[in-house]
Amino acid sequence: MGSVPDTQLFHDVFNASPIGIAVENLDGQPLFVNPAFCSMLGFSEEELRGKHCVDFSPREDAEKDWTLFQQLRAGSIDHYQLEKRYFRRDGSVMWGRLSLSLLKHIPPLIVAMVEDITEKKIGEQALSEMSRKLIQAHEEERALIGRELHDDISQKVALLGVSLQRLREDLPAFVERASGQINELCERIADLGSDIHALSHRLHSSKLEYLGLVAACKGFCRELSRQQNVEIDFHSQDIPKELPQEIALSLFRVLQEALQNAVKHSGVRRFEVSIASACDEIHLSVHDSGVGFDLQKAMSGHGLGFASMKERMKLIDGHISIDLKPHGGTTVHARAPLSVKTMSKGAGA
């Protein structure tokens, strides 16, 4: 049986591949495209040759692609992969997993392979939308309970305390024992009222709604410090008062979860919280010098609420990570965008 020439074998594989393949020059201009690539986008091979890759990719998806393409073209990397959107000829949008490699040919060429992952992305977006609705329903329920605690139960407890105080003052002086018991009850009711007040703020922060993220975070740190008898150093820098509600609420919930976990699990009494803006992002960190915890357990979403924090940050295009030191010390880092970034011209098929 005779061998198949290398060029013929490459040609057959190129044309038969179910993965879209394009061979580009170093400017991102398609030179050859296979039938699968044409079928994905709905253009003929001749039409694709006359286009630049950015002509069929949304501009906002191009910045990261362009940065990586520049590195590939310069030879500092020899391949990269990312997921991005493409416009089909009929105007619809598809998601593709793009893999680019530098072919050290003379002249050098770029090989781009694109796998259609539209169905996978649609499924992920459906799950993300469900998560968003569940979190929204959760927040609405928390707000309802928080307002009920603050406006109704808290007020009733306060009135009960006032009534007991008046009763104590009206007792005859010789009823010393009863007076002492009433004093104790007054103190317990005052503590209960403070706890209900703090709980209502944890469930629904009016400060976040009316005074902004920094005031809400500072207030929560102060209340938790008083309630748990711990020291919390809070620092903020350049945080605008006006933020999109979703971003402010997500960061506030991450702060709550991370700080409460630290107080509960670290074994120390001093904590550091910082929130600052830099490079069109808000950076939040919660640090302790304690014993740490099982990172794998946190990553799997059991017991420490990491899954909830991760999902919240994902919904606002943010990111969360945990830094554990071998001999103690844990820092939770969260980053969220301040605004939508402006994308520059990109490359890559």
How far apart CA 340 and CA 229 sit, in angstroms, is 40
- Tell how far CA 226 is from the center of its chain: 29
Q: How far does the chain reach from its first CA to its final CA, in angstroms?
A: 38
pLDDT at 231: 94
In contact, 73 and 94? CB cutoff 8 Å:
no
As given in the structure block, the two tokens for residue 171 are 């007792």
Residue-wise pLDDT tens for the chain (349 aa)? Answer: 455 556 778 778 888 888 899 988 888 888 889 999 999 999 998 888 888 766 778 888 877 888 888 888 888 888 999 999 988 989 899 999 999 998 887 888 889 999 999 888 888 777 777 777 766 666 666 666 666 666 666 676 777 777 767 766 666 655 655 666 667 777 777 767 666 666 666 555 667 777 888 988 998 898 889 888 999 999 999 898 888 888 888 898 899 888 988 888 888 889 999 999 988 899 999 999 887 655 555 445 444 467 778 888 888 889 998 888 766 688 999 999 986 443 334 455 6
The HSE-up count of residue 204 (CA atoms within 13 Å, CB side) is 17
Sign (positive or negative) of CA dihedral 211, 215, 216, 220: negative
Residue 18: closest CA among 115, 120, 117 = 115
Omega into 240 within 30° of 0, i.e. cis? no
Beta strands in the chain (DSSP E): 20-24, 30-33, 79-87, 93-103, 109-116, 231-237, 270-278, 281-288, 319-324, 330-337
Classify domain 6-116 by CATH number. Answer: 3.30.450.20
pLDDT of residue 297: 53
CA 53 – CA 61 distance, rounded (Å): 12
The whole-number pLDDT of residue 311 equals 80
Instruction: Assign domain 207-338 to its CATH superfamily.
Output: Histidine kinase-like ATPase, C-terminal domain (3.30.565.10)
- CA 336, CA 74: separation in Å to the nearest integer? 31
pTM of the model: 0.51
**DSSP H or E stretch at residue 264:** helix 245-265
Q: How far is CA 317 from the centre of its chain?
A: 6
